[in-house]
Amino acid sequence: MKTRSKTFISGEELPWEPCGPGVRRRIMGYDPHLMVVRVAFDKDAVGATHTHYHSQVTQIESGRYEVTIGGESRVLGPGDGYYVPADEPHGLHCLEAGVVLDIFSPLRADFLK
């Protein structure tokens, strides 16, 4: 497994990777301690509730989402964000198609091929 991304990354050159019905991602950069991933959602796509040992911060670039973290739900849109502590159950339902930026620490090795 590669442990570090290129220094300069052209988003236009990165392929979108399917990661569920109506969901695709681009890994924007990473090293062992940090990973940034752009995720695109179609309307009504679902990020199923899950947990992982990584801390996560998400910035919403576009679209509207019902986000549930630890049993509490909020509707969020562009300019909003959220923090997910390690091992906290979380998921979302896309209400209006858009893109989010997920930041993980440490890197999500399971996302690398």
Show me where the domains of the chain are located: 17-68+76-99
| pLDDT tens digits, one per residue of 27-69 | 999 999 999 999 999 999 999 999 999 999 999 999 999 999 9
Q: Would you state the CATH architecture of domain 17-68+76-99?
A: Sandwich (2.60)
32, exposed or middle or buried, with CB in 10 Å at 0-12, 13-18, 19+?
Answer: exposed
Q: What's the whole-number average pLDDT of the chain?
A: 96
Torsion, Cα 70 101 99 2, to 10 degrees, reads: -110
Q: Which two tokens stand for residue 54?
A: 């990584």
| pLDDT tens digits, one per residue of 62-107 | 999 999 999 999 999 999 999 999 999 999 999 999 999 999 999 9
In this predicted structure, what is the pLDDT of residue 1? 65
Nearest to 83 by CA among 61, 60, 62: 60
In this predicted structure, what is the pLDDT of residue 2? 76
